Amino acid sequence: MTTTAPEDTAVVPAFRSIGVVRKVKNWVATSLVTLAFVGALVPLVWLLYTVVSKGYEAILGANWWQKSLKGVLPEQFTGGVYHAIYGTLVQGLVCAVIAVPIGVLTAVYLVEYGENGRLARVTTFMVDILSGVPSIVAALFVFAVWISTLGFSQSALAVSFALVLLMLPVVVRSSEEMLRLVPDELREAAYALGVPKWKTIVRIVLPTALSGMVTGVMLALARVMGETAPVLVLVGYSRSINYDVTDGNMASLPLLIYTELTNPEAAGVQRVWGAALTLILVIMFFNLLASIISRFSAVPTK
Amino acid sequence: MSESKARTRQEARTPGGSPVMMDDMSEEPPRPAAPRTVRRSGDTVFKALTSGSSMVIVVSIALIGIFLLVQAVPSLRANTVNFLTSTQFSTSDATNLAFGIRDLLVVTVLSSILALVLAMPVALGIALFLTHYAPRRLARPFAYVIDLLAAVPSIVYGLWGIAVLGPELEPVATWLNGNLGWIPLFADGNVSIAGGGTIFTAGVVLAIMILPIITAVTREVFTQTPRTQIEGALALGATKWEMVRTTVLPFGRSGYVAASMLGLGRALGETVAVLIILRAASSPSGLSFFDGGYTFASKIASAAAEFSQPLPTGAYIAAGLVLFLLTLVVNAIARVIAGGKVNAS
């Protein structure tokens, strides 16, 4: 190794400091990107602040969680929304009872049996389409089948059917993802012991993936309970409680908000924001539940 | 049935292999000398159950299209004006239906495009921030905060949009209208700017609503950028921005465009927020952001209480069918662009 004379090579130093233009560009990009994030927080904070500040008085009222609006005049600052909370929860529950088995079984088919067959490919394609169907179209479809063609009356059950269409793709997707995370070694160990395939799925694969799937279901539930379009088309509003899912008008929080919007009295305005805050609280509760479940029980990938 | 029999034999012959991978080999003709075959009724039932569920989904999608079409056709036949170009939408007289979707289409497309134009750059910035700029430890909670935007129900967005945001945007709208009014998009609309019941407000609210979905999908694609490329760029002396521009952006471009298309699909179908914000207009829409009126979805929802006679209802179902096709096309474009990289739910 001979070292050349420094005068020959040191004209261009090995490390040059970054030029001003590049530094400025980098700085501008960093600030723009950070600004975009901060900018997105503005509407979120603003919206939550608006809803809380306008709605907290209503939900602190003594009757809010225990009474309905039966016999309450539009201008009276009394009554509650428990009839609407019941409607929101029960419509979501009925929807989940239908959508979860179908969604989970479909995911099992796609992961365990489908193997890229024709039915698996068509199903994946259809789930893609279903995830893009607007809620109003799902509502129209249920209206066209259940009410126009089959002649049933408007009911909470019809709403649940429409919600099923919106919930299915989310459940299928998240369950599929979780089932694919289950390591093949578990399946192979079961097969090696002579366990039938269906029993392997029911006793080994599904329990392993369960917590992740429950999280997905909770998130899906939170999403469909805030849907307004189906309840506008498929069920009438009622100011009093109706426990019957299959018949009659039933309130839900979005429907109550939409109906009270036409009430010009101050009490109506307060009720609208109170119900909006209640709806956000209900949805946040399910979101929180989902993240707690996923935090405390993750699928062991190895 | 014979296929499952063949597979059971395969499993028995090669106990070491993974039975899950066997399906591809089931073409092989079964040998008569194979060891004891077991056919379990439990397996048959369970497979039937799971594939049955898949078929339920497939059939229900097909039914959506068919039922909407079947119920729309009689009304389309009874229609007295051109369905595509008329600005009327009067269905009160079942014997003299006159409905066209021109205005619905204009309002739907204008509000959704405005939402997309506003949301795309911001979503790109947020996705970059969350994947490459935010401190590692804070990236997850920050992403959760952005996802919270998706947890707010659309009716609450509508309330906030018309009660709070609309009045705040009024000076902006007035300024745009006053200074850029010579561009048709910012010309005087058919409703008053005061109060904010315009496509402009609706577009801004829609932009906020589709921000989380575009961000979530883009973020997922950006995190898949090959580590070696990133480190290579940095090793060559690139600044952070140069690294992003030369590795992350080219890699994630198709995913980002696909994510935006998915967001557009959401915006097109959004119902109740738009219904609450937009003010009804008396004259036809004139391609301005300061128009009022109805989108497909909000028109259908606004008339929901009057769905009693089949022919007028069919008119709204026809509008719903067009909306369905529109979202279908947009989502299909997203899938094609993404080429299987994107998974939206």
* Residue A245: CATH number of its domain: 1.10.3720.10
- pLDDT tens digits for range A103-114: 999 999 999 888
Q: A201 lies in a domain?
A: yes
Q: A264 lies in a domain?
A: yes
CA B50 to chain centre: 28
Q: A49 lies in a domain?
A: no
Q: A44 lies in a domain?
A: no
Domain limits for position A263: 82-296
Residues 269-298 of A with CB under 8 A from B: 272-273, 276, 279-280, 283-284, 287, 291
Long-range Cβ pairs for the range A14-23 (8 Å, 24+): A18/B237, A18/B239, A22/B239, A22/B242, A23/B239
Q: A129 lies in a domain?
A: yes
Contact A188 B18 (CB under 8 A): yes
Q: What is the pLDDT of residue B9?
A: 41
Contact A44 B345 (CB under 8 A): no
Copy the structure tokens of residue B118.
Answer: 């506003």
Q: Which secondary-structure segment (H or E) carries B99?
A: strand B98-99
Contact A229 B208 (CB under 8 A): no
Copy the structure tokens of residue A47.
Answer: 């919206």
Give the whole-angstrom CA distance, residue A113 versus residue B290: 54
- Compute the average pLDDT of residues B9-30: 45
Residue A141's nearest CA partner among B261, B59, B99, B125 is B59
- Work out whether the CA dihedral B253, B259, B263, B266 comes out positive or negative: positive
What is the distance in angstroms between the Cα of B319 and the nearest Cα belonging to chain A? 10
Beta strands in B3-54 (DSSP E): none
Contact A133 B64 (CB under 8 A): yes
The neighbouring-strand residues paired with B99 are: B89
Reported ipTM: the value is 0.86
- Work out whether the CA dihedral A46, A47, A52, A55 comes out positive or negative: positive
- Compute the average pLDDT of residues A180-208: 90
Residue A94's nearest CA partner among A172, A160, A169 is A160
Q: Kindly list the residues from chain B whose CB atom is less than 8 angstroms away from the CB atom of residue A195.
A: none
Copy the structure tokens of residue B208.
Answer: 């906020």
Contact A172 B269 (CB under 8 A): no
Q: Which secondary-structure segment (H or E) carries A108?
A: helix A82-108
Name, in order, each residue with C-beta under 8 angstroms of A198's C-beta and a sequence gap of 6 or more: B40, B42, B43, B45, B46, B47
Structural domains in chain A (count) = 1
Copy the structure tokens of residue B296.
Answer: 């497909």
Q: What is the DSSP letter of B239?
A: -
Q: A4 lies in a domain?
A: no
Give the whole-angstrom CA distance, residue A276 versus residue A52: 9
Q: What is the DSSP letter of B14?
A: -
Pick from A113, A126, A291: CB nearest B58 = A126
- Average pLDDT over chain B, rounded to an integer: 83
Task: Name the region of B81 (left: φ>0; alpha: ψ -120 to 50; beta: rest).
Answer: beta
Contact A134 B323 (CB under 8 A): yes
Q: A54 lies in a domain?
A: no
Say yes or no to pLDDT of B24 above 60.
Answer: no
Contact B71 A233 (CB under 8 A): no
Copy the structure tokens of residue A284.
Answer: 């946040």
- Average pLDDT over chain A, rounded to an integer: 87
Give the whole-angstrom CA distance, residue A297 versus residue A268: 44
Name, in order, each residue with C-beta under 8 angstroms of B208's C-beta and a sequence gap of 6 or more: A40, A43, B119, B149, B157
Cβ–Cβ under 8 Å, residues A169 and A138: no
Q: Number of helices (H) and strands (E), helices first, in chain A?
A: 12, 0
Cβ–Cβ under 8 Å, residues B222 and B252: yes
Contact A140 B317 (CB under 8 A): yes
- Work out whether the CA dihedral B149, B152, B153, B154 comes out positive or negative: negative
- pLDDT tens digits for range B142-185: 988 888 888 899 999 999 999 999 999 988 988 998 888 888 88
Closest alpha carbon within chain B to A291 = B144
Say yes or no to pLDDT of B102 above 70.
Answer: yes
Q: A73 lies in a domain?
A: no
Contact A108 B124 (CB under 8 A): no
Q: Answer whether A23 touches B (CB < 8 Å).
A: yes
Cβ–Cβ under 8 Å, residues B104 and B294: yes
What percent of chain A has a predicted confidence (pLDDT) above 90? Answer: 41
Size of interface A-B (CB pairs under 8 A): 284
Which pTM value belongs to this model?
Answer: 0.85
Burial degree of B28 (CB within 10 A; 0-12, 13-18, 19+): exposed
Query: Which domains are assigned to chain B?
Result: 2-81 (no CATH), 98-338 (1.10.3720.10)
Say yes or no to pLDDT of B80 above 50.
Answer: yes
Q: Answer whether A89 touches B (CB < 8 Å).
A: no
Give first-to-last CA distance, chain B, whole Å. Answer: 35
Residue B296's nearest CA partner among B77, B154, B156, B103 is B103
- pLDDT tens digits for range A128-153: 888 889 999 999 999 988 888 888 88
Q: Kindly list the residues from chain A whose CB atom is less than 8 angstroms away from the CB atom of residue B55.
A: 119
Mean pLDDT comparison of A23-32, A73-82, B48-57, B325-334, highest-scoring range = A23-32
Residue type, A123: T
The string of DSSP letters for A163-203 reads: HHHHHHHHHHHHHHHHHHHS-HHHHHHHHHTT--HHHHIII
